[in-house]
Amino acid sequence: MSTFQEIIKGEIPVLVDFYADWCAPCKTMNPILKKIKKNMGDNLKIIKINVDNNQQVASKFQVRGIPTFILFKNNEVKWRQSGIIDEIKFLETIKLKIN
C-alpha cells in the first residue's frame, strides 16, 4: 500500500477529502465528489482521510474543521478549502488549479 507522501507527490493531481463518519456536511459532499471524479476521470485522484483514524496526517496539514479539501500536485498544495462547496464552483476551481 502506498504511503500518503507517495500518493501526493505524483504528476496526477490528488484531491484529499478530510472527513469523519459522524460529520453531516461531509456526507453532503460525497455525491458531489463522485460527480467530480466522474467528470475528471483519470486526470484526478480523490482520496478520503478519516480524521478520527488519521489524526497525525490531519494535524500535519492543520485540518481544524471538516470537511476540508486539499488539492495536491507534485507534492505541493495547490488549493485548500473547508466546508460545503457548490459542485460547479468546486469543479471549476479544481480545473483552474491543476492547469
Percent of the chain with pLDDT over 70: 98
Burial (0-12, 13-18, 19+ Cβ within 10 Å), 81 = middle
Tens digits of residue pLDDT in 10-55 = 889 999 999 999 999 999 999 999 999 999 999 999 999 999 999 9
Alpha helix segments (H runs only) across 2-85: 4-8, 24-40, 55-60
Q: Is 66 a catalytic residue?
A: no
What's domain 4-98's architecture?
3-Layer(aba) Sandwich (3.40)
Q: What is the pTM of this model?
A: 0.94
Question: Which residue is catalytic, options 7, 12, 20, 23?
Answer: 23
pLDDT at 88: 95
Q: Give the domain ranges of the chain.
A: 4-98
pLDDT at 32: 97
Q: Is 38 a catalytic residue?
A: no
Cell numbers that stand for 4 in this block: 500518503
Tally the residues of the chain: 99
Contact 25, 83 (CB under 8 A): yes
**Which helix (H) or strand (E) is 80 found in, with range?**
strand 76-82
